[in-house]
Chains A and B, each alone.
Chain A
Amino acid sequence: MEFFGPVLDGFNVVLDPTNLLYCLLGVVVGMLIGVLPGLGPAATIAILLPMTYGVEPVTAIIMLAGIFYGAQYGGTITSVLLRLPGEASSVVTVFDGYVMAKQGRAGAALGIAAIGSFFGATISIIGLTFLAPLVASFALDFGPPEYTALAMLGILLVATISGGTKIKAIIAAAVGLFLATIGRDGFTGAERFTFGNLSLADGIDFVPIAMGLFGLGEILYNLEERHRAANAPVKVSKVWPQRKDIKEASGAIGRGSVLGFFLGILPGGGATIASLASYAMEKKTAKDPSRFGKGAIEGVAGPESANNAAATSSFIPLLTLGIPANATMAIIFGALLIQGITPGPQLINDNPQLFWGVVNSMYIGNILLLIMSIPLIGVFVKILRVRAAILAPITALITMLGAYTIRNSMFDVLLVVLFGAIGYLMKKFGFEPGPLVLAFVLGSLLESNLRRSLLVLEGDPTGFFTRPISATLLVLFIFVAVWPVIKSGIEKRKAGSLASTIASEKEKENA
């Protein structure tokens, strides 16, 4: 009972009408941006950051989380109906989902995807409920050296797993770390890189960076990236899958959920990789692999369950270790910092209302999404007709006016526009904005822990290897750093996996 007390209290938090409303708002927005090609969840959450200023922390995070997992549901719809993945994590759904739609089974594909998503997410929330406290209690003993190693590993994993070249991603991360040093140094009080400018003394604010790089950068990029005109969507009928479909897909849903849960926990992992891995696994375990690509329902059910499970479980490293596992989590991390809450192992005990409120809101959010994706699917299919030309200025105005409302400052708006241009140029030159934002968010944590560790270890960097946890993490870090070099040697002889190439292409488009 001692364990379940706070968990149950969390439901009281969720059932508060304001929180319910924001949960609904979050999942509807998430589903919408999932359906509409162009903006991804990271960009949307960045653009909507100003909305979180006026509300309670728990309410804000409930909404942002809803956008993130809601987008996983919405992305499926365009994959199945239009063969255009709304999100990178729905790329593999195209393979069998669109063929099913061509065969007149669009309803079954969407229905099973919704059910699979719901199961994947629910299993993952339950897993989170039990695993998160364990991870947090384990991490309570972490000292500065462990945090240093963990933050370094987290940044490196996100940089190396994202699409595009690894070296450029590491450069982006280094730039993020550098930007984080601007302002007053916490240890010596020295002003760093402020050039005497008073408004830089407190450092660069996270919000204009995120809104610019992710939000406006992507909007500008989409202006020239003409989205192919949507063909008239296939008629969707009979969204409830038949018993036979459910029977065929149930194994895939189960396997996908478990796989997704574990892949989501890993830093740099997350929904995209989980969906790819699940598709590969289904193909491998199927009795007749040749059915895949020709409308196999497992090829929709598995990846869709996996990406939702992963989206949910990627909250574990954020809420228990304070290390965001991907770019979207980095923005949610930033949103928590704005609210004066530092995510980490203490969060679960210091702020159980927030922790369990957010976790339990996911049950409600997923029920709402299931309702929206089965009986209300027609409404969302209609939204596909809204033209990108009309949406683009709306999103741009939301960003501009939203940026102003944070501090009533035109300077902030200008910063957002400038970072938007930088984000656009980064994309054109092949630099991912994701690692930059993640590294920026973790920058001061990494530096202060590194300097504290060096004080403790009396300036001897080999001291990191005398502590078992930091040693393990650093060995992993070195392995991840060296691995691409080894792998590229192997890959030169062997062509890379097809699906992962496509997904990384898509990831580049709407990271």
Chain B
Amino acid sequence: MDAKHARHDSTEKSLTSELTPEPQEPEALTPEELAAQWEAEAAEPAGPIANLLSSLVVLGLSIAGMALSVGLGLGTPAAPAAGMWPFVISLIAAVMAVAQIIVGRAGGRDGEKFSALSWYAVIGFATLILMVVLMPIIGFEIPSLLLCFVWMRWLGGERWRSATIYSILIVAAFYAIFIAALGTTIPRLF
């Protein structure tokens, strides 16, 4: 167990060595040192382009929201129609989006830049979508097995053997709980 763990750590480090510094330097112990260390390890903020893009998406959506709300009819304050409230919310969102474009033009400190590791999230999302597509056709067992294996072997850096064993164990456990014990109607092969 320990040997495996060590091996796993080393693969994980090699994957991320370009992003996180080796934590081998003398340990930071005072709150100030810790804060500096966490700061250094934190992901880079999303930056000005991300800020502009996300604000523009919000602005576009809120203008669409306002247009649709006007279509529903606004009414008067004393007798508001169905569109009044969504219109007000969309207006607030639009104003805030414009404010964010201006305030965050230098980038700010929020959000996170996409990195090479962001592909992991994309692959993860793809496997989830694949599972949604396959589940009604061939049941949940094979897609779940695939998902577990991909997530462990490639997204998690497990070894072939442990990824295979744990994937099978996990799917068996899910079968036992969801199908055998709880009797749910999840689409299944067996």
A430 near B: Cβ within 8 Å? yes
Cα of A175 to Cα of B35 in the assembled complex, Å = 33
- State whether A223 and B120 are in contact (beta carbons under 8 Å apart), knowing that A174-B93, A498-B35 are contacts in the complex: yes
Contact string against A for B residues 146-190, beta-carbon threshold 8 Å, 1 for contact and 0 otherwise: 011001100111100000001100100010001000101110000
Of A115-123, A246-254, A386-394, which stretch is located at the interface? A386-394
Q: How far, in angstroms, from A221 to B38 measured CA to CA in the complex?
A: 18
Q: Which residue of A lies closest to B45 (CB)?
A: A430
For residue B60, CB closer than 8 A to chain A, the reply is no
- Closest beta carbon of chain B to A148's beta carbon, Å: 11
Q: Is the CB of A187 within 8 A of B82?
A: yes
A467 at the interface (CB under 8 A from B): no
How does the 8 Å CB contact mask read for A161-192 relative to B, with 1 for contact and 0 for none? 00011011011001101100100010110101
Residue in contact with A171 in the complex, picked from B13, B32, B72, B96, CB distance below 8 Å = B96
A387 with B170: in contact, given A174-B92, A417-B125, A505-B42 (CB under 8 Å)?
Answer: no
- In the complex with contacts A178-B90, A393-B152, A224-B121 CB distance below 8 A: yes
Choose one: A165, A192, A388; the contact of B104 (CB below 8 Å): A165
Shortest A91–chain B CB gap in Å is 9
Report B165 CB to chain A, min CB distance, Å.
10
Query: A281 in the interface, Cβ–Cβ < 8 Å?
Result: no
Q: Are A388 and B108 in contact (CB under 8 A)?
A: no
A107 in contact (CB, < 8 A): no
On whether the beta carbons of A224 and B34 are closer than 8 Å, the reply is no
* B156 near A392: Cβ-Cβ < 8 Å: yes
Per-residue interface assignment for chain A, residues 213 to 246, with 1 indicating a CB less than 8 Å from any chain B CB and 0 otherwise: 0001001110111101100000000000000000
| Inter-chain contacts of B9 with A (CB < 8 A) | 229
Write the nearest CB–CB distance from B78 to chain A, whole angstroms.
3
A458 smallest CB distance to B (angstroms)? 5
Task: Decide if B86 touches A168 in the complex (CB within 8 Å).
Answer: no
Other-chain residue from A178, A224, A385 in contact with B5 (beta carbon distance below 8 A) = A385
Contact across chains for A188 and B82 when beta carbons are under 8 A apart: yes
- The reply on A459 being an interface residue by CB < 8 A is yes
Option from B20, B83, B178 in Cβ contact (under 8 Å) with A226: B20
| Beta-carbon contact of B92 and A224 below 8 Å | no
Which chain B residues lie closer than 8 Å to A505 at the CB level? 38-39, 42
Binding site for B on A (CB under 8 A): 83, 94-95, 98-99, 102, 164-165, 167-168, 170-171, 174-175, 177-178, 181, 185, 187-188, 190, 192-193, 216, 219-221, 223-226, 228-229, 293, 385, 387-390, 392-394, 396-397, 400-401, 404-405, 408, 410, 413-414, 417, 420-421, 424, 427-431, 447, 450-451, 454-455, 458-461, 498-499, 501-502, 505-506, 508
Q: A188-B81, A224-B118, A459-B76 are in contact. List 5 more A-B contacts (CB 8 A).
A: A192-B72, A293-B31, A387-B156, A396-B124, A498-B31
User: Would you list the 10 A-B pairs with minimal beta carbon distance, nearest first?
Assistant: A389-B156, A459-B78, A430-B110, A430-B111, A459-B77, A190-B82, A174-B93, A224-B117, A393-B151, A429-B54
- Residues of B at the A interface (CB closer than 8 Å) are 1, 5, 8-9, 12-13, 15-16, 19-20, 23, 29-32, 34-35, 38-39, 42-43, 45-46, 50-51, 54, 58, 61-62, 65, 68, 72-73, 76-86, 89-90, 92-93, 96-97, 99-100, 103-104, 108, 110-112, 114-115, 117-121, 124-125, 128-129, 131-132, 135-136, 140, 144, 147-148, 151-152, 155-158, 166-167, 170, 174, 178, 182, 184-186
